[in-house]
Structure 1
Amino acid sequence: MTRQLQAFILALSIVVATCGIGRAQDYVIDQRTSDALTKYLHMSELPMVTAQFSTSPGGSKQLILTGFVTTQFGRNDAERIAIGYLNDPSVNMVDQILLDPHIEDMRGGQQGSGTAGSQSQNSPDQLWNKTMQGIYKNGGQTPSGSGPMLP
């Protein structure tokens, strides 16, 4: 995993933690199911999507999907895979997955293609900046008092 991808995943975790994901206070997170479903999504070629499964004392179930995909198809696929994994139509789905076409450019092995001009425009730093701008534009916030997210 590249250093920038690791930094991006760390930044994503911080953004998700600081955004105050909209769930009722009385829901209890089922960490085991959340982790298993997140791992399943990652194995299903959705490496930047996470799942948080929780239940209320009254028995209501909620699934929050967060992260990034490149297309609407990827977003729909994440929902379909998650619902299929849980096999429970009564689960309330909260989809907070953001679309960012630049994520595809972050995949390894694509930096060496194209001309010198296209390399500079699609450099990892440029892609990182475009992705982070998308996060902030869609409501993500940096942790208060923090500096730049890149090491």
Structure 2
Amino acid sequence: MGRNDMEDLWAPWRIDYILGKKPEGCIFCSKPGENRDEENLILHRGKNHFIILNAYPYNNGHMMVVPFKHTSTLAGWTDDERREMMELADLAVELLRRTMRPDGFNLGINMGIVGGAGIADHIHMHIVPRWNGDTNFMPVLSDTRVISEHLRVTYAKLKKELDEMV
């Protein structure tokens, strides 16, 4: 297949990651401390956890609930910490229902590199909205996902609704 036969996908936000300096240390520890929530895609702060939009999403609206505490395990958490993680996951699901109307969700925690964790030393829960037919030939045949809305547009839409909810 020649170059003229290929299709181009446009994902302008990826260039920031490709060309940008990679942060040292844990991004889940540093981002909340910067107090630049919109820039860092942080949607909500709780007492023990925060909700952040995933910068490299599986689907539009893919977000995570992340503890402020740097930990790679669920062991040793207080009842309040456990409860708040689930409460914020529930808040994220309701936010996505109201704004994006998905047909379902995947919620999960990948523990350890072998478990699929991209950031293994700081545990986090993924909330991924799903729609009927969102798995098509692109990821199956070409290992490519199509994200149909820019991250900043998704953030603004979710943040506006969230501010009205809480």
Q: Same fold (TM over 0.5)?
A: no
Name whichever structure is richer in helix by fraction.
Answer: 1
TM-score by length of 2: 0.28
TM-score, normalised via structure 1 length = 0.30
